[in-house]
Structure 1
């Protein structure tokens, strides 16, 4: 499912226009990203939670040359599925 298919499904399920569903989805994504950028955590009970974690600097290899390269430290987003999401998968 891509973004436009999700918007179509949301509009049909909620009985709203596609424009309203698109606005709701974009607002949700913007607010999740904003919370994570501020160092927060977002939890949707039953669905899952997003958090930010620090990834340490490390050495890597260039696959074409085999040369060792330095990979900088960075922050990464992690998602942990909730019980209802994990339990509902077949």
Structure 2
């Protein structure tokens, strides 16, 4: 099973690499994600070269089903976040998967 990378893990890696305190690293990681969230809330697109882009999209209202009762329920329209990986990231993941398969 894959490891989970959390904000604290990112902060720990930043603290080690930048030789700063964990507290300062947590603040920087929080600022980074708050900046992305704020841009998306305003409707802006966030592009990170070599990683991917985040943008919001509108999902239409639809009819759904309650999985327990089977009863039809109305699901309202809402805004959702979409992520598209860059070609650099996609290629890196594709090559990493290929290397794992070849090593069996």
Q: Provide TM-score, normalisation by structure 1.
A: 0.92
- Matched pairs, number: 90
CA distance in structure 2 between the aligned counterparts of 1:77 and 1:57, rounded to whole angstroms: 16
Higher relative contact order (CA 8 A, sep 6+): 1
User: Could you say which structure has the larger radius of gyration?
Assistant: 2
Post-superposition shift, 1:56?
A: 0.3
Corresponding position of 1:58: 62
Structure 2 residue runs of 5 or longer lacking an equivalent are 97-104
Query: Any idea what SS the aligned residue of 1:88 has?
Result: helix
CA distance in structure 2 between the aligned counterparts of 1:29 and 1:2, rounded to whole angstroms: 12
- Are 1:25 and 2:25 matched, yes or no? no
Structure 1 residue runs of 5 or longer lacking an equivalent are none
Corresponding position of 1:87: 91
Greater share of strand: 1
Post-superposition shift, 1:40?
A: 0.6
Deviation string, structure 1 residues 16-49 (Cα, Å, up to 9, x no partner): 2212211111111111111111111110111111
User: How big is the alpha-carbon RMSD for the aligned residues of Structure 1 and Structure 2?
Assistant: 1.1
Q: Provide TM-score, normalisation by structure 2.
A: 0.80
Corresponding position of 1:77: 81
